[in-house]
Structure 1
Amino acid sequence: MAFIDNILIPAAINFSDPLMLVGFLAAGVPVMLHLLNRVRSPVVQFPTLRFLRLTAQKTSRRRQLQYWLLLLLRMAVFALIAMAIAGPLVHGGSPLTAYGLIFLMLGGVALMALMAVSFASSLESRKAPAATETSSQSPVGRSATASPARAKRSIGTALSAVLLLVGALAALFALFGLSTDSILPGSGGSFNGDSTACVIILDNSQSMLMQQGTGTRLEQSLAITRDLLTRVINPAEFAVLLSNPGRQPVADHLTTNRVGVLGRLNATNSLGQARPMQELVRRAVELLKSADQPNHVLVIISDFAGPAAADLQALAPLKNDPNLQLVLMPQAAATTPDDVGVRSLAISSGQAVVGSTIYFKAQVANNGQTAVVPDFVLKVDGQKQPDSKVHVQLAPSGANGSQGTLRLAYRLARAGDHVFTLQLAVPSNAMSWADKRSLALHVASQVKVLVLGPSSHVASDSTAFYVDAALAPFGPTNAATTGQPIWSVQPTYASAADFSHFQLSRYQAIFLCDVPSISPAMADELHSFVTAGGRICWLLGPAVNPSEYNQVLANTRQLLPGDLQGPVSQPAGNNVSWVDLKSHVFANLFDNQDPFRRIVVVGRWTLAGNSPAFGSTLSKLDDDGLFLTIQKQGQGRIYTFFSTPGGGWTNFASTSAFLPMMVRIALGSAAGSSLRTSYQPQQSVAIPVAAGTPADISVNVRAPGSSLPINVKASLTAEGRPQWIFSHTLLTGIYHWRTFDHKQSGIFVINPPSAEVAIRPVSAKVIAGEAPKGQHVYIAATAEQLLQDLQKAAHGSSLEPGVLALVLILAILEALFANRYRPMLRPAGSGDEVDRSALKPAEQALSGSVLR
């Protein structure tokens, strides 16, 4: 067993003072007294008494059995007193098992003694002559009853022999279990860590920051770690593995530098995300297998909540070191304090432009043991917004309904970079870091859109004409008093032939309106634009060259959902029959599908197989033809209309759905923007530098609480495009970035790990149950408790109190048994007297004699 040196003997039970076992000789005192008090009377001849009703023989046997039982009880009392004085100690297993083995041994010995007496009596009765029958019984009757009596005696003799063997086996089994480590595995010795290698896995995840007593769980765990290294275990070599290693590990390899490790422990806090527990256990086993010490111990100090308990197979690597001792030190209190945490915050829909309404969706969780209805508020740039309070009903932790969803809306009023925070109205004292969650959003004053047509000017009744009118219904007028535009979209029209004259990084969306052909160079620029986060909208009309589109756009760059076929003409027209109302293009426009069904399509294109090879369908016609598809390309989106509002192909431009659909595609959806501005610790951040920025331009990032920026240089993607990746994201909070030429800037947010918001602990006994079979596991919440357990494992658990209690029970039984069967004079008239005058001659003859 680990931690134990100076091994004594491999036995389950040892004795602290084995010399006192000489007291077992006292068990022979009752036997000696019995032999000394035994009186041999003289034997005299006496006439037959066959005509008397004799019961003396049966009474003698019964009393002889009683005397044997009393003798056994008295011997057991003396033996157990001697055992108690010697100080019995049990090593390994449960003391109850040891007591059970002691009872089994005593019971086996008692059964052997009783059956030996019974067996001897049966043999004696078989040698003795047949019992004298009463005078009323004829010789024939006596002969008839003799045979059954002999059969009964034979059965009794066989049964006594079997029970005698059973008692012997039971006693031998108990003696084997008490004298070896087969049933109660363990060894006696002295507690010592001089030959021990120890690895401590210290959980410093966010849930360990919960207030518990006078400090946090992490502060208590650090104090326990110091005690283990300096006093409790004091190992010869050790390592300390942190679940959240942060900037610098404490000791991720075996070392003997106790001073250095203790110094780094003082600077330990919770940074980054927790590593999987199975990964930590595997690393600990590898370190222990490489240790020079013969004894190995793994200590896990954790609240066993969140990531620490997410994988019940975390202890599986222990099978590679079966001699390793496992110590679980749970730090969670018996009762979890009331606490509600915000697990996630995201934008579900809306456009990131002034005047638009965005919709938030948040996941919250109740970690307490009582049902609650907490209130939450929305803050923008740290300022609480009026009328933003929302609430949700949450069941107790672990029950159905302990997690809930919040939905709230906010109308964007100011352009620029903003931080939106959902926070508990009444902060929690248990885990204040989990009370809120934030995201960053860049709000544009206007979205700049490039509209490309087949000619240098906008022809009436053309696709570009209707699109340009929908995107700028009020013209380019600005509000002179506020400085804010009165319309959120600012379109710019140009011919597709002049495409190369425009810097695409200045635009957020590009509409290609029935453009006949696309050159490979133009297709490459479009591909880079959409991959960097831009939006492309194809409106395919009769001027489109399908073979060139398929070759340049669909087959090589996947800028179309598939190969174009057609066009298809239907003079009677087909109505739109279905739209995806969950898509940001159609969501909340109308209450139902009916307004969209007013769109009639006469001419259109289709795809091979009538289904998109890339992306998904947003709208269909009543003949199952495609009307609108969407596909993701990099960080951007591609929308494809298979018909056009111009050229007489549809009445799309005259319906109420046309203008809002064009505007929504131009503005895009803010739903995915939070994914690019809200991260968790140790996640790499792709800084959204505009497409076309030279690769030699670096980006400076300033972390929360830091005045010195971190310079980030560009790296190249697989396609050869520059990208700026920032990986120093241990700290939570708001990060500000700016390009070196000061032309671009932005912000992003690092939130606490969402998985660590859940603080409902898993029982350490459940964790221990997942250890490999036969693994030695200790469970102790404090260092003092662990020290007591280790000393008990080394020196053994005392059985002295239990043995003394057993002595008391047997002494009481002996007294009751002796008083119950003490000879008593019977009162006259009891119906069992014998005529004294008839027995007078016998009494005189028996005085001082024994019958023969």
Structure 2
Amino acid sequence: MVFLAPLFLFGLLAALIPIAIHLIRRERPPKVVFGSIRFLKNTPKKLILFQHLQQWALLLLRALLISLLVFAFARPLLNQSLAKLLDADPQSAVLVIDTTLSMRYRGVFAAALAEANDFMDNLGPGDEVAIVVLGERATVLTDFTDEPAALRRALDSLTEPSFGASSIRSGLALADEMLAAATFENRSITLLSDFQATGADGLEGSWKLAPGVAFTPIDVGVEETQNLTVVDVRVPATLIDGIQADPVLARIRSSGSLPVERAQVSLLIDGEVIERAAVELTDVSEKVVEFAYILEGSGERAIEVRVQGDDFIDDNSRYAAVTIEPKVDVLVVNGEASSDWFDDEAHWFELASGSGVASPFFVTSTVPNRLTPELIQSVEVVVLLNVSDLGLQQSRVLSDFVRAGGGLLVAPGDQTSTAGSTLDSILPGRLVGSQRLRIGDYRIIADFDRRHPLFAKLPVEWSSRFQRVWTLEAKEGAATLMRFDDASPALLDAKVGAGRVLLTAMPLDSEWGDFPLQPLYLPFVHESLNYLAARPSEPASYVIGDSEVADFTAVGLTRLERATRSQWVAINSDTGESALARVSAESIFDAVINPENTTLAPREVRTAQRMVELESPQRLWWWILSLVLLLLLAETLISNRTYR
């Protein structure tokens, strides 16, 4: 049994009134002095006992009358448990908790957890609840359950926000999708967030919550914030030893609602503070800091730029990982060496690839008859310029070199023969013959594979002219990277084992054309050698939540084990999470609520209505009042007989 108006049960204390009156009005027999009692009649003991029983029955009957009146006004219900009554309108609710980086601001996440616990305290015993968290992505912390203990344990597991960034829409969309398969028709979403403006991106479109889904946004953010952040660190991921590197640049930004006028920025290399700089932000919100320190040496460097002077320290550092590699070792085999630079086959190529200390290549030259296995094995790329043919041992060593991962560039010239080459097994094409064009006629580069990494950094327009070219016949599996204007191949590429081979249709000197005199010549040589060297070029910088570093949940520098090598990588937060500008909870509500939703009465009102519906078919209070009338009549009869 339960009561719809349980406060009336305090009226049971009124049942003590008849007992109190009985005790107060209890009469003591008077003492009368008689000279003789011979004329007095003895009263039977049974009559006295009967009167006592009538008085006790009258007392209990009056207390029962008051108790029944109290029960009637308390409106009892039979066969309805308290849980069922309070769960008369159960709901399926999803609690979405923002755990992105901005929630790390002082006191914000603690406020969110407090609101989450208040949300749990206000749930009905029959409500089912799921919890969704917004971290690197929207994820389900716990699926629908009506067990408060399981929900409390899930909340206790949220010890701190993540370093990730995700949109409010992604969390609401996941919650909306979960509610589509929920048990109850009464569905709701509660969002706990600081309502960062960048997190609200994507809510301006036509997407809305499903009809019938109630939405409650709760703002736990801070109105006045101070924040300094390092939004960018400019340093190349790979440097070449011996080449002067650009200085490290860092961009510092004030992104809170309150300005920060001064800050101190530190540059740390491999965990050691190398340089400090003071930054004035009095008149600007952003400034670029240039450090004087120049990276040098070889190997990997772990770089951190740290700013100090604000209230939000979790985004004060930005990281970068740099690998300083040695120069690419290149061996040039000159098939037409000459003391006259104009006639020397390798002059232009060596000028483009190895001149000056700023070159990323270390070039060694030799001639075919001095090409030894030791020379081949000591380099990363071998270039054959107008080489007629090689010996069987040289060809075998060179083939093994390529299959083991080396690079080979073959540029045939007038010394090259069309007869079967000893390198035919690794070349991507066959030399059919050379074609000398008429005077005034020439070939130009008409097309190239823009998607190929060799051409990723090269311009689109090629102005080189060739009066003589080789006719190439591509082998099966070879890729044609460049074509002349007559559609014949100009450059072929093939992967041989772990290495690569490039075959050109023209020499790389000025004898057959003006290619070495064109601005594109030097970048073409550099990109070709870099492509053939095939040094690992995996990214060294990631944003928290990227798939390749999905197992890492904190920002910083870490070692990533790749298939071919172990590499230092930098994991940073999304700079958008450092922008603490906010939007109102009302604007979020207006952006996502479905206009087809009907206004629902408060839960307390709907529960009261449900109580009345449950009470109507029973009407126990009416039967209790009827019993009270009968007992009142019985009380009247008994009292008249008792005190007559």
Q: Counterpart amino acid of 1:244?
A: G
CA contact (8 A) 1:537 1:638 kept: yes
Match of 1:681 in 2: 544
Is 2:584 aligned against 1:763? yes
With over 3 angstroms needed to count, the CA separation of the structure-2 counterparts of 1:793 and 1:655, relative to structure 1, is same
CA contact (8 A) 1:207 1:306 kept: no
Match of 1:167 in 2: none
- Whole-Å separation in 1 of the counterparts to 2:209 and 2:608: 26
Match of 1:490 in 2: 362
CA contact (8 A) 1:281 1:317 kept: no
With over 3 angstroms needed to count, the CA separation of the structure-2 counterparts of 1:331 and 1:413, relative to structure 1, is same
Is 2:557 aligned against 1:734? yes
* Superposed CA offset, 1:80-128 (max 9, x none): xxxxxxxxxxxxxxxxxxxxxxxxxxxxxxxxxxxxxxxxxxxxxxxxx
CA contact (8 A) 1:352 1:358 kept: no
* Superposed CA offset, 1:211-230 (max 9, x none): 2xxx2x22221221122112
Q: Counterpart amino acid of 1:747?
A: W
- Whole-Å separation in 2 of the counterparts to 1:239 and 1:656: 64
What is the alpha-carbon root mean square deviation over aligned residues?
Answer: 6.7
With over 3 angstroms needed to count, the CA separation of the structure-2 counterparts of 1:777 and 1:454, relative to structure 1, is farther
Match of 1:693 in 2: none
With over 3 angstroms needed to count, the CA separation of the structure-2 counterparts of 1:512 and 1:775, relative to structure 1, is farther
Tell me the CA shift for residue 200 of structure 1. Answer: 0.5
Match of 1:706 in 2: none
Which one of 585, 590, 596 corresponds to residue 774 of structure 1? Answer: 596
Larger deviation, residues 439-448 vs 309-318: 309-318
Match of 1:428 in 2: 310
With over 3 angstroms needed to count, the CA separation of the structure-2 counterparts of 1:338 and 1:527, relative to structure 1, is farther
With over 3 angstroms needed to count, the CA separation of the structure-2 counterparts of 1:302 and 1:739, relative to structure 1, is closer
* Superposed CA offset, 1:234-266 (max 9, x none): 762211111127999631343525256435534
* Superposed CA offset, 1:660-718 (max 9, x none): 9857875789xx98861111234344xxxxxxxxxxxxxxxxxxxxxxxxxxxxxxxxx
Match of 2:244 in 1: 356
* Superposed CA offset, 1:561-592 (max 9, x none): xx999767687899999xxxxxx999xxxxxx
Is 2:324 aligned against 1:443? yes
Q: Counterpart amino acid of 2:541?
A: S
CA contact (8 A) 1:508 1:535 kept: yes
- Whole-Å separation in 1 of the counterparts to 2:243 and 2:398: 33
Match of 1:417 in 2: 300
Tell me the CA shift for residue 331 of structure 1. Answer: 2.4
Larger deviation, residues 273-282 vs 763-772: 273-282
Match of 1:752 in 2: 573
Is 2:182 aligned against 1:299? no
Which secondary structure state, in structure 2, belongs to the residue aligned with residue 251 of structure 1? strand
With over 3 angstroms needed to count, the CA separation of the structure-2 counterparts of 1:247 and 1:325, relative to structure 1, is closer
Tell me the CA shift for residue 339 of structure 1. Answer: 2.3
Match of 1:222 in 2: 113
- Whole-Å separation in 1 of the counterparts to 2:518 and 2:322: 33
Q: Counterpart amino acid of 1:203?
A: D
Match of 1:339 in 2: 227
With over 3 angstroms needed to count, the CA separation of the structure-2 counterparts of 1:662 and 1:323, relative to structure 1, is closer
Tell me the CA shift for residue 545 of structure 1. Answer: 6.8
After superposition, residues 571-720 of structure 1 pair within 5 angstroms as: 644-646=507-509, 648-649=511-512, 676-685=539-548
- Whole-Å separation in 2 of the counterparts to 1:527 and 1:200: 58
Q: Counterpart amino acid of 1:323?
A: G
- Whole-Å separation in 2 of the counterparts to 1:227 and 1:500: 80
Tell me the CA shift for residue 199 of structure 1. Answer: 1.0
CA contact (8 A) 2:169 2:200 kept: no
Match of 1:719 in 2: none
- Whole-Å separation in 1 of the counterparts to 2:515 and 2:587: 63
With over 3 angstroms needed to count, the CA separation of the structure-2 counterparts of 1:575 and 1:198, relative to structure 1, is same
With over 3 angstroms needed to count, the CA separation of the structure-2 counterparts of 1:333 and 1:676, relative to structure 1, is same
Match of 2:104 in 1: 209
After superposition, residues 492-507 of structure 1 pair within 5 angstroms as: none
Which one of 212, 220, 238 corresponds to residue 323 of structure 1? Answer: 212
Which one of 269, 282, 288 corresponds to residue 380 of structure 1? Answer: 269
- Whole-Å separation in 2 of the counterparts to 1:650 and 1:765: 71
CA contact (8 A) 1:202 1:243 kept: yes
Q: Counterpart amino acid of 1:332?
A: G
Is 2:21 aligned against 1:199? no
Q: Counterpart amino acid of 2:303?
A: F
After superposition, residues 40-119 of structure 1 pair within 5 angstroms as: none
With over 3 angstroms needed to count, the CA separation of the structure-2 counterparts of 1:525 and 1:498, relative to structure 1, is farther
With over 3 angstroms needed to count, the CA separation of the structure-2 counterparts of 1:552 and 1:763, relative to structure 1, is farther
Tell me the CA shift for residue 418 of structure 1. Answer: 0.6
- Whole-Å separation in 1 of the counterparts to 2:491 and 2:288: 31
* Superposed CA offset, 1:795-842 (max 9, x none): 99xxxxxxxxxxxxxxxxxxxxxxxxxxxxxxxxxxxxxxxxxxxxxx
Which secondary structure state, in structure 2, belongs to the residue aligned with residue 199 of structure 1? strand
Which secondary structure state, in structure 1, belongs to the residue aligned with residue 240 of structure 2? coil
With over 3 angstroms needed to count, the CA separation of the structure-2 counterparts of 1:653 and 1:394, relative to structure 1, is farther
Which secondary structure state, in structure 1, belongs to the residue aligned with residue 539 of structure 2? helix
Larger fraction in helix: 1
CA contact (8 A) 1:452 1:515 kept: yes
CA contact (8 A) 2:540 2:570 kept: yes
With over 3 angstroms needed to count, the CA separation of the structure-2 counterparts of 1:202 and 1:248, relative to structure 1, is closer
CA contact (8 A) 2:321 2:569 kept: yes
Which secondary structure state, in structure 2, belongs to the residue aligned with residue 208 of structure 1? helix
With over 3 angstroms needed to count, the CA separation of the structure-2 counterparts of 1:256 and 1:643, relative to structure 1, is same
- Whole-Å separation in 1 of the counterparts to 2:154 and 2:128: 17
Q: Counterpart amino acid of 1:749?
A: A
Tell me the CA shift for residue 428 of structure 1. Answer: 3.1
Tell me the CA shift for residue 296 of structure 1. Answer: 2.0
Which secondary structure state, in structure 2, belongs to the residue aligned with residue 766 of structure 1? helix
Which one of 246, 255, 261 corresponds to residue 367 of structure 1? Answer: 255
With over 3 angstroms needed to count, the CA separation of the structure-2 counterparts of 1:570 and 1:351, relative to structure 1, is farther
- Whole-Å separation in 1 of the counterparts to 2:585 and 2:87: 26
With over 3 angstroms needed to count, the CA separation of the structure-2 counterparts of 1:196 and 1:600, relative to structure 1, is closer
Tell me the CA shift for residue 439 of structure 1. Answer: 1.9
Match of 1:126 in 2: none
Aligned length: 505
Which secondary structure state, in structure 2, belongs to the residue aligned with residue 433 of structure 1? coil
- Whole-Å separation in 1 of the counterparts to 2:505 and 2:279: 43
Q: Counterpart amino acid of 1:311?
A: G
- Whole-Å separation in 1 of the counterparts to 2:125 and 2:378: 65
With over 3 angstroms needed to count, the CA separation of the structure-2 counterparts of 1:508 and 1:520, relative to structure 1, is closer
After superposition, residues 1-40 of structure 1 pair within 5 angstroms as: none
With over 3 angstroms needed to count, the CA separation of the structure-2 counterparts of 1:273 and 1:498, relative to structure 1, is farther
Which secondary structure state, in structure 2, belongs to the residue aligned with residue 223 of structure 1? helix
- Whole-Å separation in 2 of the counterparts to 1:499 and 1:194: 89
Match of 1:74 in 2: none
Tell me the CA shift for residue 414 of structure 1. Answer: 1.3
Q: State, as a whole percentage, how many aligned pairs show the same letter.
A: 17
Which secondary structure state, in structure 1, belongs to the residue aligned with residue 176 of structure 2? helix
Match of 2:31 in 1: none
With over 3 angstroms needed to count, the CA separation of the structure-2 counterparts of 1:339 and 1:643, relative to structure 1, is farther
